[in-house]
């Protein structure tokens, strides 16, 4: 049986565990530094197994040596946003947590694939890569799937159609500078530029960029977790089952799209080895500029990270 470890047993981590359990992909281990939290969440999920019919192990522990032999490690650990906070505001706290967690992953399960969820996402993926020293393809960030699924939902809602008929691509950093691409966003193969006026599309793009903040404004004491967990579960399934799907993820670029040495959201071929290929799309000059601006925003936060002495 495969093994998936989830570090961070808060809302995103525990919901991811539940979604993965229902996919019957692997045994699942929940980790946290809060005593009792991962064990309580795991036991609660296991007690639902007779009804939901997932016959796998779900275990919770504060002992990170139990990471051993994980196929995939999902890192959700960190503090969540509150109203008025940007993802970048989490940098100082979450970078220290990520450094500690990444060291444990490298120590106990050096052959695993890491899926980073903690914010600021692209910078936390960069930090995880640098701390672990893993191969580039074995560290990937969950961002583009979440951003694109929000865009898909907003499009379906506006058109009054099934979400099943929508597809979308969102590039760039996971933040306000993300780059949704209407030309590559379709309904049953029809570009949304043929179905919606330009000003409506721009409003949907802006709502997508602010999608996380919109939820934070309602919750007040936390951030989104159902949709992020669903996106993580899709990525883990792709890796464990070697589905080799093309999905928008945060990947380390070495010149692709003219970007060097940063994690940025792009379409990737995701399979058992992690990021097996980066797909380069033809972009218009405006789209290229927007993506470069997004990459610059990620680079600026990395410079702040370097100022904290964690690299």
Of 115, 174, 249, 295, the active-site residue reads 174
Return phi, psi of residue 239, to 5°: -75, -50
Closest CA to 283 of 177, 141, 171: 171
Is 102 designated active site?
no
3-state secondary structure of 276: strand
Are the beta carbons of 211 and 178 closer than 8 angstroms?
A: no
Which residues, other chains included, contact 198 with Cβ-Cβ below 8 Å and sequence gap of 6+? none
Instruction: Output the CA–CA distances (angstroms, integers) from residue 49 to 24, 113, 172, 298, in the order listed.
Output: 11, 27, 38, 41
Structure tokens at 120: 């600021």
Return phi, psi of residue 144, to 5°: -60, -35
Are the beta carbons of 41 and 17 closer than 8 angstroms?
A: yes
* Alpha carbon of residue 59 to chain centroid: 23
| Alpha-carbon span 229 to 28, nearest angstrom | 14
Strand order in the sheet with 190-191: 166-167, 186-187, 190-191
Q: List active site positions.
A: 174
């Amino acid at each position: 049986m495969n093994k998936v470890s989830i570090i961070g047993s808060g809302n995103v981590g525990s919901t991811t565990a539940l979604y993965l359990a229902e996919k019957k992909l692997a045994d699942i281990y929940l980790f946290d530094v809060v005593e009792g939290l991962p064990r309580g969440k795991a036991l609660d999920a296991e007690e639902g197994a007779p009804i939901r019919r997932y016959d796998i192990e779900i275990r919770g522990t504060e002992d990170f040596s139990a990471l051993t032999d994980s196929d995939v490690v999902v890192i959700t650990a960190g503090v969540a946003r509150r109203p008025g906070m940007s993802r970048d505001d989490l940098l100082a706290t979450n970078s220290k947590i990520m450094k500690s967690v990444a060291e444990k992953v490298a120590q106990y399960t050096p052959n695993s694939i890491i899926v980073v969820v903690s914010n600021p996402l692209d910078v936390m993926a960069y930090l995880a890569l640098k701390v672990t020293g893993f191969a580039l393809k074995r560290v990937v960030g969950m961002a583009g799937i979440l951003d694109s699924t929000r865009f898909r939902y907003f499009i379906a809602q506006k058109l009054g159609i099934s979400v099943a008929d929508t597809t979308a691509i969102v590039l760039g950093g996971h933040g306000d500078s993300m780059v949704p691409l209407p030309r590559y966003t379709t309904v049953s193969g029809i570009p949304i530029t043929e179905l919606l006026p330009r000003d409506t599309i721009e409003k949907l793009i802006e709502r997508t960029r602010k999608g996380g903040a919109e939820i934070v404004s309602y919750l007040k004491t936390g951030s989104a977790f159902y949709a992020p967990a669903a996106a993580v579960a899709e990525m883990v399934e792709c890796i464990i089952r070697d589905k080799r799907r093309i999905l928008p993820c945060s990947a380390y670029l070495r010149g692709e799209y003219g970007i060097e040495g940063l994690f940025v959201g792009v379409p990737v071929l995701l399979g058992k080895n992690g990021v097996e290929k980066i797909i380069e799309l033809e972009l218009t000059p405006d789209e290229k500029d927007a993506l470069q601006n997004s990459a610059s925003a990620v680079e600026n936060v990395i410079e702040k990270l370097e100022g904290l002495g964690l690299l």
